[in-house]
């Protein structure tokens, strides 16, 4: 099929590079800032966890346990799945806006791109109001369901600290919502540097405040969460300032803006698979934590895994942030050859990252776990878990890239089904069965089974969807719909 003739009308300085720059160069140009910022975010996650696990003094709350650092880390671990849920909401809104805006810019329709950007910001505010209500109603019962004398040395202290952490995180989540949504909107226009700087601002300020609040002021878990939310708000402030001090391809000004349910629907429709994919991570972690509640090390190991695996998965997600607008733009412009090149490049890079991750998790898992605890029992159990779960890294790369591709070609239902099967339908039943028959070490194989089944089933389905969507797009251009 011949490439469609370039659309000159309405091309902008930022987004036009997605139709003209060499794909191999464009992938790195668009992705490196996001990858770098994701690595910084991963570094923050690890440093934050190290700070918490090394707490030796705490002025907030009476502690009657034996190892304060391990119990503080466990308190944050119990709250972790709900913080993942908040981030999933922000990512869903951001991805939905990103894909729709990039596609409309590819079609040369700046008016619709502007309306979508403003709608996304309003959705973020509404989501925050819901989270504030949940913060003061759900936090307490949630954390108490996972804390007992088997998995920590002072259950009363851990439950109170975990509830405090989760309540503050959710109530102050507007900063996170605006940061992630705003950054995804900027990325849709081809601006990858501002989101990178935004995440650097958040991560670096977070690390500095962690050291101050935890080791100087001795605020313990309270210090950790205050550092987190302040960092998020500083990052959000930087992101929003980019729309004020410098003209972007889209505007967030709400002057004269009226909410249109059509744009709300389209953003949520495209962003739903991304939300579910990330929210399922939260749901799955909650379910696995419930299974492992009576285990002495299970929840600790699972949380530690999520902290350290971010060094492997975050660069891939950063790559997807850079690739999504490229795919969406070139699909919108019906540039199939460039679309294919971008997809292949993203897949090769993702696989390379995952292979490196697999090697590290297979060869030095004891050293990795030793960063977060000195307990020999936890380190030994963690090493087993890391070696088993890392077998799933390579098939996970295929799944992530395919899901990203489906979102870019406006196939949210297919992407949603793939996300559901990958993280819920395949993983959870196998987790229950494996834990029942093989215990804690056996449960980790559920990740391997889920990733392999998902790729085998959805790879051919996704290829068929890709062919149909480009055939449809070509017909639209043949009819002169975007002339």
Please report which confidence band the pLDDT of residue 4 belongs to, taking 50, 70 and 90 as the band edges.
very low
In this prediction, residue 9 carries a pLDDT of: 39
Answer whether 107's CB lies under 8 Å from 335's CB.
no
In this prediction, residue 256 carries a pLDDT of: 77
182 inside domain = yes
- Percent of the chain predicted with pLDDT > 70: 96
Residues 6+ apart with CB under 8 A from 345: 23, 24, 27, 323
Question: What sign does the dihedral 181-186-189-193 (CA atoms) show?
Answer: negative
Euclidean distance between CA atoms 47 and 68, whole angstroms:
17
Q: How many CB atoms lie within 10 A of CB 327?
A: 28
In this prediction, residue 483 carries a pLDDT of: 52
**pLDDT tens-digit map of 423-434:** 789 999 999 999
Phi first, then psi, for residue 218 (nearest 5°) are 60, 40
Euclidean distance between CA atoms 79 and 286, whole angstroms:
10
User: C-alpha distances in angstroms, 116 versus 111, 185, 194, 254, 261?
Assistant: 9, 9, 20, 12, 11
5 inside domain = no
11 inside domain = no
Burial of 13 from C-beta contacts in 10 A (0-12 / 13-18 / 19+)? exposed
**pLDDT tens-digit map of 174-198:** 999 999 999 999 999 988 889 989 9
Range of the domain at 90: 19-478
In this prediction, residue 478 carries a pLDDT of: 84
**pLDDT tens-digit map of 92-113:** 999 999 989 988 988 889 899 9
* Ramachandran bin of 295, using left for φ above 0, alpha for ψ from -120 to 50, beta for the remaining angles: beta
Average pLDDT over residues 279-285: 89
**What is the per-residue burial (b if ≥16 Cβ within 10 Å, else e) of 135-144?**
beeebeebbb
Q: Would the pLDDT of 165 be above 80?
A: yes
Residues 6+ apart with CB under 8 A from 201: 231, 234, 235, 238
Rounded to two decimals, what is the model's pTM? 0.86
Q: Would the pLDDT of 12 be above 60?
A: no
8 inside domain = no
142 inside domain = yes
Number of domains in the chain: 1
In this prediction, residue 40 carries a pLDDT of: 83
**pLDDT tens-digit map of 49-79:** 999 999 999 999 999 999 999 999 999 999 9
Average pLDDT over residues 19-29: 89
7 inside domain = no
337 inside domain = yes
In this prediction, residue 15 carries a pLDDT of: 63
4 inside domain = no
Euclidean distance between CA atoms 376 and 69, whole angstroms:
15
- Percent of the chain predicted with pLDDT > 90: 75
Q: Would the pLDDT of 7 be above 60?
A: no
Task: State the chain's mean pLDDT as an integer.
Answer: 91
In this prediction, residue 123 carries a pLDDT of: 97
Euclidean distance between CA atoms 282 and 268, whole angstroms:
19
């Amino acid at each position: 099929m011949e490439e469609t003739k370039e659309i000159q009308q309405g091309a902008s300085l930022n987004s036009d590079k997605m139709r003209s720059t060499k794909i191999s160069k464009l992938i790195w140009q668009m992705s490196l800032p996001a990858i770098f910022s994701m690595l910084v975010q991963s570094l923050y996650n690890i440093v934050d966890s190290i700070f918490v696990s090394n707490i030796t003094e705490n002025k907030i709350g009476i502690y009657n346990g034996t190892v304060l650092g391990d119990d503080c880390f466990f308190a944050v671990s119990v709250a972790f799945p709900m913080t993942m849920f908040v981030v999933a909401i922000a990512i869903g809104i951001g991805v939905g806006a990103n894909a729709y805006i990039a596609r409309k810019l590819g079609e040369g329709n700046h008016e619709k791109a502007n309306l979508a950007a403003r709608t996304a910001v309003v959705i973020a505010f509404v989501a925050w109001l819901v989270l504030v209500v949940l913060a003061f109603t759900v936090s307490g019962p949630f954390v108490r369901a996972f804390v007992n004398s088997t998995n920590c040395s002072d259950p009363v202290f851990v439950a109170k600290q975990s509830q405090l952490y989760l309540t503050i995180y959710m109530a102050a989540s507007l900063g996170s919502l605006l940061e992630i949504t705003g950054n995804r909107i900027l990325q849709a226009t081809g601006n990858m540097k501002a989101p990178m700087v935004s995440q650097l601002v958040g991560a670096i300020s977070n690390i500095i405040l962690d050291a101050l609040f935890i080791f100087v002021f001795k605020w313990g878990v309270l210090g950790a969460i205050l550092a987190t939310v302040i960092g998020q708000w500083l990052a959000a402030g930087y992101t929003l300032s980019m729309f004020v001090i410098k003209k972007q391809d889209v505007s967030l000004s709400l002057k004269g803006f009226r909410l249109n349910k059509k744009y709300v629907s389209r953003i949520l429709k495209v962003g739903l698979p991304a939300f579910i994919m990330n929210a399922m991570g939260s749901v799955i972690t909650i379910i696995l934590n419930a299974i492992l509640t009576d285990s002495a090390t299970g929840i600790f190991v699972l949380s530690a895994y999520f902290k350290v695996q971010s060094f492997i998965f975050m660069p891939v997600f950063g790559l997807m942030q850079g690739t999504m607008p490229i795919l969406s733009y070139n699909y919108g412009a019906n540039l199939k050859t460039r679309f294919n090149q971008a997809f292949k490049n993203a897949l090769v890079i993702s696989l390379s990252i995952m292979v490196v991750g697999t090697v590290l998790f297979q060869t030095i898992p004891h050293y990795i776990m030793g960063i977060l605890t000195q307990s020999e029992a936890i380190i030994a159990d963690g090493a087993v878990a890391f070696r088993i779960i890392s077998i799933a890294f390579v098939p996970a790369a295929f799944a992530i890239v395919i899901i990203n591709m489906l979102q870019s070609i406006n196939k949210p239902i297919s992407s949603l089904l793939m996300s559901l099967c990958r993280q819920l339908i395949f993983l959870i039943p196998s987790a229950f069965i494996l834990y029942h028959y093989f215990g804690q070490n056996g449960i980790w194989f559920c990740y391997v089974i889920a990733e392999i089944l998902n790729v085998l089933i959805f790879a051919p389905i996704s290829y068929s969807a890709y062919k149909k969507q480009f055939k449809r797009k070509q017909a639209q251009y043949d009819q002169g719909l975007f002339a």
